[in-house]
């Protein structure tokens, strides 16, 4: 059994990455576990699609809205996942310093999803094609 994390941008809305998330999840066997962090945007899309397709889904939500709690949640996701997919919106102002540390292409908006991926070590950045 494989566990994948689908995390990332909350800026583009739930509909923006729907088809991309769906295609990604469908590329995995039905016994794959999908996990995410409970935020709006990509996390919400991951929950919706995983449930629609009948995949097991686990959601790790922070206990309150603060960086220490987001960090704790992100590190738990990084530990639990075999692979992290960080969905990002196109570069608007600063390049992603998490991806720079991982020696990956960092020409996209910085996101906590890349922080999660950096700490997992096995992550892929997916640019959201149609950011609302």
In tens, the pLDDT along 64-115 reads 989 899 999 999 999 999 999 999 987 667 788 998 999 988 888 888 899 9
Per the rule left: phi > 0, alpha: psi between -120 and 50, beta: everything else, 41 is left
- Set out the domains of the chain in order of their start, with CATH numbers: 3-127 (3.40.50)
Cα 68 to Cα 126: distance, rounded to the nearest angstrom:
26
Report pLDDT digits (tens) over 1-13.
999 999 987 777 6
pTM above 0.85, yes or no: yes
- What is the rounded CA–CA span in Å between residue 38 and residue 98? 21
């Amino acid at each position: 059994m494989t566990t994948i994390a689908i995390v990332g941008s909350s800026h583009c809305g739930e509909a923006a990455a729907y088809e991309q998330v769906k295609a990604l999840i469908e590329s995995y066997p039905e016994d794959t576990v999908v996990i995410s962090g409970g935020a709006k945007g990509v996390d919400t899309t991951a929950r919706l699609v995983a449930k629609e397709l009948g995949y097991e889904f686990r959601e790790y939500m922070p206990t309150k809205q603060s960086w220490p709690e987001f960090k704790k949640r992100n590190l738990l996701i990084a530990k639990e996942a075999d692979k992290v997919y960080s969905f990002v919106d196109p570069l608007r102002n600063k390049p992603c310093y998490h991806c720079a540390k991982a020696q990956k292409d960092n020409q996209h908006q910085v996101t906590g999803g890349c922080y999660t991926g950096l700490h997992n070590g096995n992550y892929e950045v997916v640019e959201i094609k149609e950011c609302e």
